[in-house]
């Protein structure tokens, strides 16, 4: 997180924002995004509550990705009056581009090596999520951009 981003988050400290996170512990995107949100929340003095998607489908279904997918995590930012101040997720735009590119390189589902290639792509993504600081910065910047609107 750079100084400009820290400054934006410091400006939010007095707004009393809270965050509801719809997530699951098996989700690779949650593995990447939730710890970054926690760092952002610490800087912005935001309370964070986690809800499991599969136990809260009524709420989840209000935040479907592309109107159809229960993709997670979803971060719902709430102001002091309880109004929705912003929604983020399930991925930063740069991460979505990485996923889309990886998926475009996988053979058709009927291909004999589909499952092997798909698993290799997911393993590669997970490795990147755990080691590439540029990814962490992109996610952080995306979350902060949502909060700054």
CATH of domain 3-90+133-147: 3.40.30.10
Domain locations along the chain: 3-90+133-147
Q: Which of 54, 85, 84, 86 lies closest to 70, judged by CA?
A: 54
Model-level pTM?
Answer: 0.91
20-64 per-position pLDDT tens digit: 999 999 999 999 999 999 999 999 999 999 999 999 999 999 999
Distances (CA, A) of 95 to 90, 92, 125, 134: 10, 5, 9, 11
Place of tokens 């479907």: 64
122-144 per-position pLDDT tens digit: 999 999 999 999 999 999 999 99
Confidence at residue 38, expressed as pLDDT on a 0 to 100 scale: 97
What's the whole-number mean pLDDT along residues 96-112?
A: 93
Find the DSSP H helices in the chain: 3-12, 28-44, 57-60, 93-104, 114-131, 133-147
């Amino acid at each position: 997180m750079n100084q400009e981003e820290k400054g934006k988050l410091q400006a939010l400290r007095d707004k009393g924002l809270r965050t509801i996170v719809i997530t699951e512990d098996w989700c690779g995107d949650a593995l990447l995004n939730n710890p970054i949100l926690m760092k952002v929340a610490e800087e912005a003095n935001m309370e964070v509550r986690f809800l499991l998607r599969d136990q809260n489908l009524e709420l989840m279904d209000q935040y479907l990705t592309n109107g159809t997918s229960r993709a997670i995590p979803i971060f719902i930012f709430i102001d002091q009056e309880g109004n929705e101040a912003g929604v983020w997720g399930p991925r930063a735009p740069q991460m979505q581009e990485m996923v889309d590119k990886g998926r475009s390189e996988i053979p058709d589902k009927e291909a004999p090596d589909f499952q092997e290639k798909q698993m290799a792509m997911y393993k590669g993504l997970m490795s990147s999520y755990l080691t590439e600081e540029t990814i962490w910065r992109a996610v952080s910047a995306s979350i902060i951009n949502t909060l700054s609107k």
